[in-house]
Amino acid sequence: MRIIVLAKQVPDTRNVGANAMNPNGTINRAALPTVFNPEDLKALEMALRVKNQMPNTTVTVITMGPPRAEEIIRDARNRGADDGFVLSDARFAGSDTLATSYALAQAIRSAGDFDLVFCGRQAIDGDTAQVGPQIAEKLGLPQITYAEALESVSEQEIVIRRRLEQGVETVCAALPVLVTVTSAAPDCRYPHAHRLLRFAKTPVEVRNADDVQPDFARLGLAGSPTKVKKVDNVVLAHKDNVHLEPTEDNLNEMMKNLINEHII
Amino acid sequence: MNFYTDNESLSFYLHHPEMVEIARLREKDFAEAGLHPEAPANAEEAIEQYDSVMRLLGEITADVVAANAEEVDHEGPHIENGRVVYAKGTQQNLRTMINAGLYGMTLERKYNGLNFPRVLAVMAGETIARADVGFATIWGLQDCADTIQQFASDELKEKYLPRIYQGATCSMDLTEPDAGSDLQSVRLRATFDETANCWRLNGVKRFITNGDADLHLVLARSEEGSTDGRGLSYFIFDRADGGLTVRRIENKMGIKGSPTAELVFTNAPAYLVGERRLGLIKYVMSLMNAARLGVGSQAIGLCEAAYREAETYAASRQQFGHPINQFVAVQDLLRAMRARTDAARSLMYETARLVDRSATSKPASRIADILTPLVKLMASEFSNQNAYDCIQVHGGSGFMKEYACERLYRDARVLSIYEGTSQLQVVAAIKGIANGSYLKRIEEYDQQVAVGQLTDQQQQLLSMLRQSTESYRALYEKATANGSTDVLFEHNARALTEVLAYTIMGYLLLLDSQRDMRYVDSCDYITRHALGESAKALAMMA
């Protein structure tokens, strides 16, 4: 079995400093430490669990980003992935979700046959949750979103438990299929000490736009219909306190206000 | 959080200039480079490997072991169907360490080890102990593998060593109801079973740390009719072979996550490690030195934890309109805690480096032997002092169960007891005092100081250390006025040992401060204590 995992290197939003934003509202990436997008790590873990159950399975990790995104591939390899590559090219710069999903779909096509694609539900920098489903559409694959647990897997099908707003749903899909994994899924295993030593000097493959034979008009800014008009810095602060006597009417009134103000 | 990267001292000792030579020795001139995918080609690569594995260990320790520590302390292990079941957190700690390939760090590559030197074993030990000393004891007992690696037959090595990497836990079964500090009195019987071609163990062991481990090293009387240490041999026993019952686990004051068991051996099959009769006098002594260094590493981890708890609390606790770390009385406590931690750590890494160099150097081995009891003595006593001061900084809150400092206080207490009490460490130091080995080593440190590059403060510290050495000589003369076997000498042995230890730590911190001025304040504190301790000892003797 061959599994593709899509992963993204993202700014570590838990450690955002004062100079995280440029004056023009774009992200000052140089000032931010980077991390493996948390839900992508969970996707990797799910892939590795499939690998543990299915002999002769290889896990390939693909990431799109600047050359330093190779850290993601190294990290994934140390945790148990077999190989991977960075899709890196200035011609990808400025991609929105549409252009990103196109580039990644092309990268998956260029990587050969596969049975499963795992990716995180969304990245903590964009929070769109669009890239996974868009890739599934472009590759003509069925998709299972919001996966929180791998129930079972065989050469033919996979059973996944989905975490939905109102409860859980267990679904079965024939392979190949794309799965997006949520934060409710199990944490990724740690890197393995022996793999750290073994792969320390192994280079990471970098592929550019030419390698994935794209329609260049669909890449980068040119292929991105989304335009960011303006980014505002929102500071949340409590303005005043309201003291309510705990009566039925007061509570109803408060709920109405909260709903009207789109707080809940 | 990462308990390796947030502690600059660890990287400081990992990159000590002597580590280049230690890596070369451990890697036998990098003979496996190119032949084994993990073997480094040079010292720089080896040290990078040490660093990357410590990063991983530091992350797991902070994320998992430290996070579980409080619950493990509350839950503790229990017995189920005659077997010890660890607390849930302990089980998770073990599983995570094993799955990350961290077990068997010092094993050779052919046994799936990382082939790391002793320095890294103690560094891992102190990092884990900072999170949970109880778990550090379970972790540290994998050092039993070193005894097997060093003394057992190839057949036993092939059989048991790969299992350590897979996470088989270990215990060293020495103590019995009537044989604690006095191990010559061990009675557990070992008789050879011709039919089964193995030894059979019968008897009781008590206070066995991690007593229901997978693999046991057992000290037993193999020579019928013998009564002293020369009748004892060392055996390896596999829990899976049967013949062992856990009679009870002790209800302890601290390190509650680590099960301390009473064991009954009934015809338990076992195999001889090395030669008969050398069990206590050679193998246990060798294991004991490693174990004492291991306890030193636990104590230093605890020192660090106590210092950090106190520092964090003192920065946040407001009294009289200021955080309490702005008051001199609190600053003094914190400074003392920092200095003890730095001093014991410097001594421990110096000793560990000498242990690593012992493989090819007799002199290094001799110095390691005399420094080991000082590490055990000073680090364990310091850890108790730091735990005490940590509670003091917390004031009334420190007396409540909500803060980690009360656990640290309880956990520290055993450190100056097990693997040889502080009093026995002094006994172990007496030979080096009487034959002048410590003084010779101090002279060597004195010569290592780059005198031309000292600041005024460092120059003053060097003078004080020389003065302290002279005070020690005077103290020694006075204590041995009636000869070194007289009770007067015995009475003063501890004071002599401590003055030596303070002086040696002072020199080591002075040398450290020549690489990084961060250590100069701790050097100042410890050096002044060296002088103070010798003056006190002289006064007490009069």
* Mutation to test the B interface, candidates A15, A187, A197, most B Cβ within 10 Å: A197
User: Domain B171-276, what fold?
Assistant: Butyryl-CoA Dehydrogenase, subunit A; domain 2 (2.40.110)
**For A2-223, CATH number?**
3.40.50.620
Domain ranges of chain B: 8-169, 171-276, 436-542
What does the pLDDT read at residue A30?
A: 72
Q: B199 and B256 in contact (C-beta within 8 Å)?
A: no
ipTM: 0.92
A193 to chain B: which residues are within 8 Å by CB?
53, 56, 100-102, 105, 114
Tell the residue number behind the tokens 């779909």, with chain if given.
A105
Distance in angstroms (rounded) separating the CA atoms of residues B250 and B414:
13
Q: What tokens does B70 get?
A: 């409080």
The reply to whether B51 touches chain A by the CB within 8 Å rule is no
User: Domain B436-542, what fold?
Assistant: Four Helix Bundle (Hemerythrin (Met), subunit A) (1.20.120)
Residues in CB range of B243: below 8 A, 6 or more apart: B200, B201, B237, B265, B266, B267, B268, B269
Look at phi and psi of residue B380 and say left if phi exceeds 0, alpha if psi is from -120 to 50, else beta.
alpha
Touching A: B residues 223-282, CB under 8 Å: none
Residues in CB range of B54: below 8 A, 6 or more apart: B4, B10, B14, B120, B123, B124, B127
Distance in angstroms (rounded) separating the CA atoms of residues B216 and B206:
13
Q: B341 and B321 in contact (C-beta within 8 Å)?
A: no
* Residue among A159, A92, A111, A99 at smallest CA distance from A135: A99
B102 to chain A: which residues are within 8 Å by CB?
193
CA-based angle A10:A13:A19, to the nearest 5? 100
CATH superfamily, domain B8-169, is: Acyl-CoA dehydrogenase/oxidase, N-terminal domain (1.10.540.10)
The reply to whether B48 touches chain A by the CB within 8 Å rule is yes
CA-based angle B460:B329:B537, to the nearest 5? 55
Touching B: A residues 196-215, CB under 8 Å: 196-198, 200
What does the pLDDT read at residue B445?
A: 98
pLDDT digits over A200-218, tens only?
999 999 999 999 998 999 9
With an 8 Å Cβ cutoff, are B96 and A192 in contact?
no
* Residue among B51, B59, B176 at smallest CA distance from B128: B59
What does the pLDDT read at residue B386?
A: 98
* Residue among A78, A75, A8, A77 at smallest CA distance from A39: A8
A195 to chain B: which residues are within 8 Å by CB?
101
Closest CA–CA distance from residue A81 to any residue of chain B (Å): 14
* Mutation to test the A interface, candidates B56, B59, B105, B123, most A Cβ within 10 Å: B56
The reply to whether A14 touches chain B by the CB within 8 Å rule is no
Cα nearest neighbour of B57 on chain A? A193
Reply yes or no: is the peptide bond before residue A176 cis, omega within 30 of 0.
yes
Radius of gyration of chain A (CA): 21
Q: B373 and B429 in contact (C-beta within 8 Å)?
A: yes
Q: What tokens does B334 get?
A: 């914190």
Residue B128 CA: distances (Å) to CA of A209, B68, B120, B139: 46, 12, 12, 8
Q: For each successive 10 residues of chain A (264 residues), what is the average pLDDT? A: 96 75 68 90 98 96 94 97 96 89 95 95 88 95 97 97 94 97 96 97 95 90 84 77 87 89 80
Over its length of 542 residues, how does chain B's per-residue pLDDT go in tens digits?
Answer: 999 999 999 999 999 999 999 999 999 999 999 999 999 999 999 999 999 999 999 999 999 999 999 999 999 999 998 899 999 999 999 999 999 999 999 999 999 999 999 999 999 999 999 999 999 999 999 999 989 999 999 999 999 999 988 889 999 999 999 988 899 999 999 999 999 999 999 999 999 999 999 999 999 999 999 999 999 999 999 999 999 999 999 999 999 999 999 999 999 999 999 999 999 999 998 888 899 999 999 999 999 999 999 999 999 999 999 999 999 999 999 999 999 999 999 999 999 999 999 989 999 999 999 999 999 999 999 999 999 999 999 999 999 999 999 999 999 999 999 999 999 999 999 999 999 999 999 999 999 999 999 999 999 999 999 999 999 999 999 999 888 788 888 899 999 999 999 999 999 999 999 999 999 999 999 999 999 999 999 898 86
CA dihedral B311, B317, B319, B324 (to 10 degrees): 10
Question: In this structure, is the dihedral angle defined by the CA atoms of residues B410, B415, B420 and B423, taken in order, positive or negative?
Answer: negative
Going by the DSSP 8-state scheme, the letter that residue A27 receives in this structure is B
Q: Which helix (H) or strand (E) holds B394?
A: helix B362-394
What does the pLDDT read at residue B542?
A: 67
Q: What are phi and psi of A218, to 5 degrees?
A: -100, 5
The burial class, CB within 10 Å (0-12 / 13-18 / 19+), for A150 is buried
Full DSSP string of B473-487: HHHHHHHTTT-TTSH
Residue A234 CA: distances (Å) to CA of A16, A231, B153, B242, B356: 14, 9, 70, 67, 57
CA-based angle B294:B296:B299, to the nearest 5? 115
What does the pLDDT read at residue B180?
A: 87
* Residue among A169, A144, A174 at smallest CA distance from A46: A144
What does the pLDDT read at residue B203?
A: 97
Domain ranges of chain A: 2-223
